[in-house]
Structure 1
Amino acid sequence: PWRLLLLAWLSLLGTAQPARGSWGSWGPWTSCSSSCGDGVALRTRRCLRTTEEEPCTGDPRQYRLCQLQGCPSGSVPFRAMQCSLYDNKPVLGTSARYRWVPFHGAPNLCDLNCLAEGHNFYYSFGRVLDGTRCGPGSPDLCVGGRCLSVGCDGILGSGPRPDTCGHCGSSHSSCLFVHRLFQGTDPSFGYFGYMNVTKIPAGATHIKVTDKSRNYLALMTSDGRYVLNGDRSIAWPGPYEAAGTRLTYTRAPDGTESLEAPGPTDQDLHVMVPAPPRGSPQPPQPWACCCRRGPGGGSGGIRSPPCPLNGCGFVPAGRCGRCRPAKGRSQRIQHFCQSDF
C-alpha cells in the first residue's frame, strides 16, 4: 500500500504547476529613432501577475522597422555620425585627441567600434544607437546591443519570412508552380505579326522563360506596351523594368534567350514571338567566328564553331571579310567569315 501512495503522491506533485502571469495589451509605438532613412520604433507591455504567480514568458518589448524618406545626398552615415561625436575629445585616460571613423572588424557588430584616423587602433564607445545597421550593406539592425533581422511583418527578431510566392509567414500552401512548354508549328498566324505564347498573370514570382529557337522573345504588358523586342525591333540584353519588377534579359551566342524576374508582378505580362510573313526567310543572324586555318594551309568554313569568349564575338554583317591566308603551315587563325561558307 505505501508504494501505491508514494506513486500517487509523486504523480500529483508532477502535475502541479505554478500559475504564470498574463500579458497586458501592447502600448502605442514610439516615434522613429531616426529622422530619415531606416530606424526603429518601440512599444512595451506589462506582465499582470500576483506575488504567487511566476513571471510572464516572452519579451515585454517589441521593435519594428520604420522606413522614412531617404536622407539627403551627402548625409553622413548613421554609424559614422556616432563615431564623429567623439572627435577631438580626450579618451584612453590621456590628453591625446583623435578623429574617429567606423571600424567593422571587431567581433561585436552592435558596439560602437571606431578607428582612430591615421592610427592602427580602434576603441569601443559602448553600444550603437538603436536602428544602426549591423554592418555595411546588412539588412539587419542593432537594438539593445543585439543584431536582429527584420521579419517580413516588419517586426525585428520575429522570424517570419516570405514564401516562394512572396506571402509573409505562409508555408507555400498558397503557391502554384506553373511549367509550360510551347511548340508552335506555324508562327505566321500571329496577330499584328506576333504569336501569343503564354500569359504571366499578375502576382507571379520567380519567373523564368527560355527560348532555344531562331525566333526572338517579345514581352508586352497588359496595356499593350512592348517591353522587349516589340514593333519589329530587337532589344539589347540587360535589365528592364516592367509590371512592378526588374526583368533580366539575356541572349547567348548560340541564340538561346532567357528572361528572368523575381516578381511579384503587378499586372499581366504576355510572352510573344515575332512571326515572319509566310514564306519569308528567317531573320539574318549576326556573324561570328567561323573559319579556321589548318596546319596545311587549307581552309574550312563552319556555321557554329566552338568560339572562345575572349577572342570572338558578334559583329555587323558589313564588317565580315574574307579569311586572310595563313602565314605559316602550323599556325591556326580564326577570322570573321563571309556568307560564302
Structure 2
Amino acid sequence: MCAGLWCLVEGDASCKTKLDSPLDGTECGADKWCRAGECVSKTPIPQHVDGDWSPWSQWSMCSRTCGTGVQFRQRKCDNPPPGPGGRHCQKSSVEHKACEHPPCPKGAPSFRDLQCLSYNRHANSKKKGSMLTAIINDEKPCVLFCSPVGRDVPVLMADRVMDGTPCGPYEADLCVNGRCQKIGCDGIIGSSAKEDRCGVCNGDGRSCKIVRGDFNHTKGMGYIEALVIPAGARRIKVVEDKPSHSFLALKDSSKRSINSDWKIELPGEFELAGTTVRYVRRGLWEKMSAKGPTNTPLHLMVLLFHDQSYGIHYEYTVSLNTTQDRSSEEPREPEYLYIWTHSSWQDCTVQCGGGERRTVVSCMRIVNKTMEAVNDSYCQPENRPQPQVRFCNSHPCQYRWVTGEWGSCSVTCGKGVQQRDVVCVYHFQNGSLIHTRDLYCQGGKPPVVQGCEGRLCLTLWEASEWSKCSSGCGPGVHKRTVSCTNPQGLCDPLSQPTQEEPCEDYSRCYEWKTGDWSKCSSSCGKGLQSRVVQCMHKVTGRHGNDCPVTLRPPTYRPCHHGTCNDKINVNTITSPRLAALTYKCMGDQWTVHCRVIREKNLCQDMRWYQRCCETCRDFYAKKILHKS
C-alpha cells in the first residue's frame, strides 16, 4: 500500500496512479503508517523534514524520428524525502519539451495516420477497403479516432494519441499525456514563453520594424514584380484587397516557387527561402503567409490576365540590426530574377478559312520592379510554357465585294454626288485577292454613287471662352456658350462642340486664417496690436503658401489709450518688438529651448516670442533700459 498511491477518478471504473509513494505518516493499518515507502509500526515522529527534489534525469529519446516530437525527463522527491509532517516537493516531477528532426518525407503518412495504420497491422488486414485513416475531433484533439479510407465513420481506437502528436493539421501545439499542450518559444511544453513580432523569445518587439504597403497595378498581361522581401523577414503576409482574376506568385533565389512560370498551384503549404509558406485561395481571393525567417530574398509577383488587379496589401518584419548592417555594407550587384512570360500575340496564320494566333514566349529579367527581354538561355528550359493559342479568321474564303473610299463631293456648297470603286474579288487563304467578274459575287452590288452636300457654305459653330471652374477646391464643371450663326440654322448637329466639361481647380483651397487681436502694446498713448495670420487649407487645415498675397489680412494695427508721460515715448512705439513687451505672457512654453531662442536673436520674431514670452520680454526690457 505504501509503495504507490492509487486514486479513483470520478466517472472512471479503474484506479489511476503516478507511481509516487504516499506521504510519510499516511495510515496503512492498525497502529501503522507509511515511512519511506514501507508500512511500519508507529514510532515517535522524527524531526520535521521538508522534501526536496533530486537532480533531473537525462532527457528521454524523442517520441518521433522525423518532424516534431516530445522528450521528457524526471526527478524524485527524495533529496531528502519529506519526513512526517514535512512538506512535499512542489511543482511537477516530470518535464516535457519539444524535439526537432528533419521534416518527414513529402507524401508520407502523418504521425496520427501512422497510429491508425498500426491497428491495421494488429488486425493483419490487407484489404484496401479496411485501411484506416485518422479523423481529428475538434473537441477531443488528443483522442485517437480512425475511419476506413473513403468513409467518414470515426471509431475510437485509443483514449489518447502518442505523445508528440500535433493537436491539429496547422497547429504547433502537441498532445502530451492525452492533453493538448502549448509549446513555448523556449521549447518547453506548457511554457508561457512567446516569440515577439521580431522572433525573439520573450522579447519586447523593439528589435525589428514592420514594413507594410500596398501594390496596385491594372495594366498589362503577364507577371509584374510587386516587391522583393529581404532575407531575414518574419511574419510575412500578402493579401488581396478584393477577389480578382489575377494570381499571386512567389519565387526564391533557388528557383522554388508558387504560381510562377504560368503554372497555377493548388492551395497548400510550400517550402520557399527556408520557411513554410501557406497559400490560401478561396474562389478569386488569395492570401500567402509565412512565419519566417527567410534565408534568401523572396520575389512577390502578380500574374495579370484581364488588365485588372484590385490591389494587394503586404507586410513583414525585418530586424533593425540587419537593416543597420546592410546599410554599412558596400553596394552589391542587384539580384536578377528570370521568368518566362507571354509578351504579345502573333498575327493570324491565315486571312480566312480558320487559322491560329499564338503568344510569343520570352525570357524576361526582373530587377527593381522592371522587366526586360533577354536571351532564352537565362531561363530554365524545362519551365518554358507552351504558347497560348486562339482561333482566328474563321470565316470561309469566298467571293466578296470590295469597296473603295468615297470620293469628294461634286460641289463645295449645296447638293451633289460622290463616287467610289466597287469590285468583285476572290479571297485566298494566304490573304491575296484576285479581281473577278461581278456575277460571281452573291447579293446586290453595293452602291457606286451616293448623294452628298457641300459643307463649305455652312457657318461653323461658334463657342465662347470657358467659364471658370465651378469649384475652387476640387472637381467641378466649367461651361461655355455654343451657337449656330447661320440664318437658316444649317449647322451640323453632329459637330456641335460640347457646352459643359468636367474640370478641377485647387487654386482656392487655401485661405487666410486670423487669430484674435492681442492687447495694445502700450497702456497709454500710441501702441500696436498684433495677431497671428496663417495660410491654411480649407479641408485638411494644413499650412501652405498658396493664399493670394494681395488678400492677406494685416498682422498689426495701431491702438491708442490716451496721453501719458512715461519714461518711454509711447508715441514712437511702432515696432513689433515693443508691441510684444505688453503681450499677455503666461510663461515660457518651450522652457528648454527659450535660452537658445534669445541667444540666436530670434525673439524679434513674434512666433518665437509667443512661445518664449517670459525670456524674450526680459531680453527686450534690458535692451530698452540700456538705450535709455
**Hey, which of these two has a bigger chunk of strand by percent?**
2
Structure of greater Rg: 2
TM-score (norm 2): 0.28
**Hey, which of these two has a bigger chunk of helix by percent?**
2
TM-score (norm 1): 0.50
